[in-house]
Structure 1
Amino acid sequence: MSPQGMGIAGIGAVTGYGWGREMLWDGLLEAKPAAALVEGYGVEEDETAWVARIPDGGDPEDGPSRFARAMRAAAREAITDAGRRGWLPGRRVGLLHATVQGEVDLWRDFYVEHGGRQSVRGYLAMMPSTPMSLLAQEYGFHGPSMVVSAMCASGNAGLITAKSWLDGGLVDDVVFVSTDVSATCENLLHFERLGVAVTDAEPLDACRPFQEGSRGYIMGEASVAFVLSNRDTNVYTRVVGGAMSHDAHHVTSIEPNLTQVRECFRDALADARVPADALGYLNAHGPGTRQCDRAEATLLGEFFPATARVYSVKPLAGHCQAAAAGVEVAAAALGYERGLIPAPPRVAPGHPQLLDGPTPLADGLTVKSSLGMGGHNAVVVLAPPA
């Protein structure tokens, strides 16, 4: 076991930018939002909305839905990538899948279009465990397989779960996928009614984390996969610590005193055994809502040195819900390898520590925070591979 923490040995991604991690990276570097104006996304059929949807694609053999195809495509890309970088799977490869709503399109059709009638094969395809079971069959992976769900903190929660499996010796490696393909008109409408999703403005006008004039976020979709291992290999970055907590306060709002969020940050840094002056970046949850901006700016001031910088890629990739942290960790991991942080451009006056566009990587660890709706807090600490 490497004393340096859990390594990310391979990355795969399907996002609003397209099918593949390089499309994600290129889109972020170009500061081009993944969202497009989509018709038929409002109460009236002729209404439109800005959404960062996964485009059509994938292998029909991977399943009947975009969810299954994206999940298996991202996993397959990560496994291939890890193999090219020298990773060899151990005897016990575990599978983790972070998701919240799963096969929303298939379940809607099941009730609305088919009246609850479906073939046995079609019914089993709707289960959240089925895509992972098929992936296990494809590669002959025999470790445990489990679904993780912690709202928008699901990606970080999955990474922490994978690390606990590896540190405890339950598995030799983990293939972890976070998937959310739920930006349907029905779901979008409810997030808009909650006052957090914005549909009627271009992404950089609507979502401005830590800047004046931010109204919330643009909904996004993604499936992001990582091959994770404690063994020495050519990794992008290492997860050296993490922690989770729950506010137990409100179904949507962050507890105003930030008691549990603060404890989550403190516990993650203690788990990583790093001093405050080792921190260089806060890769924020950063959805552009007022309460999240306030919470994360407060903790940036409390836990980080004045030289640290903050950024969020949600203005570009969209808020991908269960896959949000997956997208954001992938951006940081690719950035460590390529010496560049793919931060969005600043478009309004904002926090003095906020990055402005793609920035050369300096020394320092990255703290990735996730504040999931309902009080789910999850924080991981990322270190350079060496």
Structure 2
Amino acid sequence: MSAEGRRVVVTGIGVLAPGSIGREGFWDMITAGRTATRRITFFDPARFRSQVAAEVDFDPRALGLTANEVFRNDRFVQMAMIAADEAVADSGLTFGAGGAADAPDPDRVAITLGTAVGATMRLENEYVQVSDSGTHWLVDPRYATNFLHQALVPSCGATELAIRFGAHGPATVVSTGCTSGIDAIGYGSQLIEDGDADVVIAGASDAPISPISMACFDTIRATTANNADPEHASKPFDARRDGFVMGEGAAILVLEELEHARARDAEIYCEVSGYANRCNAFHMTGLKPDGTEMAEAIRLALGQGRVDPDEVGYVNAHGSGTKQNDRHETAAVKRSLGDTARRVTMSSIKSMIGHSLGAIGSIEVAATALAVQRGLVPPTANYEVPDPECDLDYVPNVAREQKVDVAISVGSGFGGFQSAIVLAHPTRRMP
């Protein structure tokens, strides 16, 4: 927390996730324990070891994008724009020329967008065109779109959002692998705490369901081989798990300085009380079983918000469904929360919507904010056979009504990234 004591709240949420369209559809789906994992339909996956994914069915034109916006932008940018539109509408803020008299100063509005792989789908599709399906080593640029350069630089996502909402403050893309979504929201909250912005449009988007992405994870055997039963292929913390299910999606939050939100009588979902990230400097894809770095991120994030471990009621887990991650994360929660770990509820929504790489952190933060606001904890679907090394309360299969004053969302990413963000109910520190 900054010396000035500026506090950060969430006033808008937008989600585009597998199996649903919009925030409320997403919430209804995950609290019902429904899964959106299926055999890949974007291309023929027969040659791959893992042939399942969690795809988003959406029509960008029907959801408000123009034909030009669809043409020039990769799928990950399209999803970010749609989620941002919903979040901003939800917040009640107006931006740009013609806005309300109390519209935020454009110089005080920032963008922080996370993504792990950026415009992977467009780059791959364009390469197929310019190389004539790989026939030519020297590619022919005449067959490329004029917007190919946008597919090369992930910053195009932040640029599109800044233009869309007339944001003249800092605009940043955060790419820290699978913690990108948490880190983008955490960085956005720090901009407000430090006095660099009053409003931040923060979140993440990824669209990685492409042949090259599936091949990358096939190589290291990180994704599931349970192709016969796609709906139940994602099994975080279950002893039968054999890898994660690739996903896609986006979630955007409107972060706002508390007094700025109060001045316009905004509805507040929760307060962002603390955020921290660490790197284990250990291995590109491996994790130490003791969970030290994730535990340290949790401890530091709690410390920022002056939150005691025994106040934590819910942990939204990274819960990827790989054996090393689930055991590492269980150990980290025990190490950081002590005796409270045995009483806290903990669940993984990746069991239902897959692992959308950089986007999943923001989607999980959105789910955590809704759990805090609504007093309902989403379940871990497909959990049937306990793993003796994963022995906490993972909320099996059925959502649980529970008053949540403080929740933590955690993430773990290739490269050793470990992140934690703490969300608190608005009444915890507010009259």
User: TM-score surpassing 0.5?
Assistant: yes
SS in 2 for 1:63: helix
Any conservation in 1 of the 2:318–2:410 contact (CA below 8 Å)? yes
Query: Which residue is 2:395 aligned to?
Result: 355
User: Is residue 96 of structure 2 the alignment partner of residue 89 of structure 1?
Assistant: no
Give 1:42's aligned amino acid: P
Unaligned runs of 5+ in 2: 95-99, 131-138
TM-score by length of 1: 0.92
Give 1:337's aligned amino acid: Q
Query: Which residue is 2:302 aligned to?
Result: 269
SS in 1 for 2:121: helix
Query: Which residue is 1:160 aligned to?
Result: 186
CA distance in 2, matches of 1:363, 1:229: 21
Any conservation in 2 of the 1:153–1:377 contact (CA below 8 Å)? yes
Question: 1:71-86 counterparts in 2 under 5 A?
Answer: 71-83=80-92
Question: 1:302-313 counterparts in 2 under 5 A?
Answer: 302-304=335-337, 305=340, 306-313=342-349
CA distance in 1, matches of 2:354, 2:367: 13
Any conservation in 2 of the 1:343–1:355 contact (CA below 8 Å)? yes
Query: Which residue is 1:320 aligned to?
Result: 356
Show CA shifts across 1:322-364 (max 9, x none): 0111111111112222221121345313334221221102244
Give 2:378's aligned amino acid: P
SS in 1 for 2:294: helix
User: Is residue 221 of structure 2 the alignment partner of residue 221 of structure 1?
Assistant: no
Residue 236 of structure 1, aligned match among 263, 269, 278: 269
Specify whether residues 10 and 271 from structure 1 end up closer, same or farther in structure 2 by C-alpha distance, changes over 3 A only: same
Specify whether residues 140 and 216 from structure 1 end up closer, same or farther in structure 2 by C-alpha distance, changes over 3 A only: same
Query: Which residue is 1:369 aligned to?
Result: 410
User: Is residue 207 of structure 2 the alignment partner of residue 181 of structure 1?
Assistant: yes
Question: 1:234-313 counterparts in 2 under 5 A?
Answer: 234-304=267-337, 305=340, 306-313=342-349
Query: Which residue is 1:149 aligned to?
Result: 175
Query: Which residue is 2:97 aligned to?
Result: none
User: Is residue 82 of structure 2 the alignment partner of residue 67 of structure 1?
Assistant: no
CA distance in 2, matches of 1:284, 1:37: 25
SS in 2 for 1:18: coil
SS in 1 for 2:363: helix
Question: 1:373-384 counterparts in 2 under 5 A?
Answer: 373-384=414-425
Question: 1:88-127 counterparts in 2 under 5 A?
Answer: 88-91=103-106, 92-114=108-130, 115=139, 117=141, 118-124=144-150, 126-127=152-153
SS in 1 for 2:127: helix
User: Is residue 16 of structure 2 the alignment partner of residue 14 of structure 1?
Assistant: yes
CA distance in 2, matches of 1:84, 1:229: 10
CA distance in 2, matches of 1:385, 1:116: 56
Any conservation in 1 of the 2:375–2:404 contact (CA below 8 Å)? no
- CA-CA distance at 1:124 after TM superposition: 3.5
- CA-CA distance at 1:88 after TM superposition: 4.8
Specify whether residues 122 and 212 from structure 1 end up closer, same or farther in structure 2 by C-alpha distance, changes over 3 A only: closer
**Identity among equivalent pairs (%):** 28
Any conservation in 2 of the 1:198–1:216 contact (CA below 8 Å)? yes
Specify whether residues 266 and 138 from structure 1 end up closer, same or farther in structure 2 by C-alpha distance, changes over 3 A only: closer
- CA-CA distance at 1:104 after TM superposition: 1.2
Specify whether residues 143 and 245 from structure 1 end up closer, same or farther in structure 2 by C-alpha distance, changes over 3 A only: same
Any conservation in 1 of the 2:234–2:382 contact (CA below 8 Å)? no
RMSD: 2.5
- CA-CA distance at 1:110 after TM superposition: 2.9
Show CA shifts across 1:123-166 (max 9, x none): 33653222432332232211110100110011111121111111
CA distance in 1, matches of 2:26, 2:140: 37
Give 2:45's aligned amino acid: G
CA distance in 2, matches of 1:315, 1:267: 28
SS in 2 for 1:335: helix
Specify whether residues 361 and 68 from structure 1 end up closer, same or farther in structure 2 by C-alpha distance, changes over 3 A only: same
- Worse overlay, 34-43 or 149-158: 34-43
- CA-CA distance at 1:208 after TM superposition: 2.1
Specify whether residues 134 and 153 from structure 1 end up closer, same or farther in structure 2 by C-alpha distance, changes over 3 A only: closer
* Bigger Cα Rg: 2
Unaligned runs of 5+ in 1: none
User: Is residue 230 of structure 2 the alignment partner of residue 208 of structure 1?
Assistant: no
SS in 2 for 1:70: helix
CA distance in 2, matches of 1:381, 1:61: 39
Any conservation in 2 of the 1:95–1:144 contact (CA below 8 Å)? yes
Residue 44 of structure 1, aligned match among 42, 47, 67: 47
Specify whether residues 184 and 125 from structure 1 end up closer, same or farther in structure 2 by C-alpha distance, changes over 3 A only: closer
- CA-CA distance at 1:303 after TM superposition: 2.8
- CA-CA distance at 1:122 after TM superposition: 4.3
